[in-house]
């Protein structure tokens, strides 16, 4: 009885271990030739096509909310001239990677999990292995790289759209001075803020693709199994992304001193 309880309690650790082992397999297959360029381009195009429009639509209110919130607070301190700087910092360091992550996991990851899951239950993956082709190298590696690439560019897009949205709302709704908003960009924000945003986006793309592929390739039990796999992959990805974001932010704040501090 005690061993049964123990095995139940330890089951999540087993899943985490398998996920990590899967990630290592992907890392190894990354360097195996031939590289599947065609699949990579197709997947990058596909993921971009399902994420670009929703991401842009999410980015505008995201930037606006931050601008309104920060602008309102900063006004109370009497430091309106720093509104631009504060909202740029918040958008580039936090909002852009998180917004990207939500869309990559929600739109891109779920599509990957559903695609691989359907192939798994139709025995296509088995057939592929039997034909002497490693599905990790043939299908997963291009998807992981495509996801990272698209996350990288989406992050840039969210940054631009978010900052522009913040500008519009600050200047039009809060009567901010356009010149002060733009001039204060560099007062608090610095170049490493941009780097950490981009690094975060790459890491989030990696995590989302790996979790989605793992869940998809381990789907079982017919069409319902595919639905479950998609659901689990989105939930697990969200959890992991927020943890990863927390850890990366902490490290960054420790390592890079804030400007003008």
Partner 1 sequence: MGVEIKVDGLTKSFGKQLIWRDVTLSIPAGQVSVMLGPSGTGKSVFLKTLIGLIKPDEGSIMIEGTDIASCSERDLYEIRKLFGVLFQDGAMFGSMNLYDNVAFPLREHTKKSESEIRSIVMEKMDLVGLIGAEDKLPGEISGGMRKRAGLARALVLDPEILLIDEPDSGLDPVRTSFINQLFIDLNAQIDATFLIVTHDINSTRTVPDNIGLLYHKHLAMFGPREMLLSSEEPVVRQFLNAQTVGPIGMSEEKDADELAAEKDLDMPPLPPIPLQLEPSSGIPRRHQPAPGQWCRENGVTPPPGSFLSANAGLAPGA
For binding to partner 1 (CB under 8 A), which residues are involved? Answer: 118-119, 122-124, 126-134, 138
CA contacts within 13 A on the Cβ side of 143: 29
Burial class (CB in 10 A: 0-12, 13-18, 19+), 166: buried
Rounded least distance, CB 119 to partner 1, Å: 7
Sign of the alpha-carbon torsion through 103, 105, 107, 108? positive
Rounded least distance, CB 237 to partner 1, Å: 24
Rounded least distance, CB 9 to partner 1, Å: 18
Rounded least distance, CB 117 to partner 1, Å: 12
Nearer to partner 1, 32 or 224 (CB): 32
Of residues 88, 99, 123, 104, the one with CA closest to residue 50? 104
Rounded least distance, CB 229 to partner 1, Å: 17
Nearer to partner 1, 46 or 252 (CB): 46
Rounded least distance, CB 84 to partner 1, Å: 48
Q: Are 207 and 108 within 8 A, CB to CB?
A: no
Nearer to partner 1, 124 or 228 (CB): 124
Nearer to partner 1, 47 or 59 (CB): 47
Of residues 15, 39, 204, the one with CA closest to residue 116? 39
Alpha helices in the chain (DSSP H): 2-29, 37-77, 83-90, 96-103, 110-121, 124-130, 135, 141-168, 178-183, 185-188, 191-217, 222-255
Nearer to partner 1, 73 or 133 (CB): 133
Nearer to partner 1, 222 or 261 (CB): 222
Contacts of residue 44, defined as CB under 8 A and 6 or more positions apart, other chains included, come to 145, 146, 149, 150
């Amino acid at each position: 009885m005690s061993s049964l309880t123990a095995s139940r309690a330890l089951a999540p650790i087993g899943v985490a271990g398998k996920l990590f082992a899967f990630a290592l397999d992907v890392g190894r297959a990354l360097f195996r030739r031939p590289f599947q360029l065609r699949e990579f381009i197709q997947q990058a195009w596909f993921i971009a096509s399902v994420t670009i429009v929703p991401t842009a639509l999410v980015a505008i209110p995201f930037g606006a909310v931050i601008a309104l919130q920060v602008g309102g607070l900063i006004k109370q301190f009497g430091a309106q001239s720093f509104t631009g700087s504060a909202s740029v910092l918040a958008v580039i360091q936090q909002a852009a990677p998180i917004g990207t992550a939500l869309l990559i996991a929600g739109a891109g990851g779920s599509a990957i999990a559903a695609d691989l899951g359907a192939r798994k239950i139709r025995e296509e993956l088995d057939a592929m292995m039997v034909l002497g082709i490693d599905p990790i190298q043939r299908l997963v590696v291009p998807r992981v790289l495509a996801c990272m690439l698209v996350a990288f560019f989406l992050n840039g897009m969210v940054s631009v759209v978010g900052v522009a949205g913040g500008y519009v709302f600050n200047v039009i709704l809060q009567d901010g001075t356009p010149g002060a908003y733009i001039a204060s960009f560099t007062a608090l924000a610095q170049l490493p803020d941009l780097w950490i945003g981009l690094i975060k986006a790459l890491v989030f793309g990696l995590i989302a693709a790996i979790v989605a592929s793992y869940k998809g390739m381990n789907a079982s039990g017919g069409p319902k199994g595919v639905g479950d796999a998609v659901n689990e992959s989105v939930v697990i990805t969200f959890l992991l992304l927020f943890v990863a974001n927390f850890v990366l932010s902490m490290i960054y704040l420790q390592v890079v001193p804030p400007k003008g501090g």
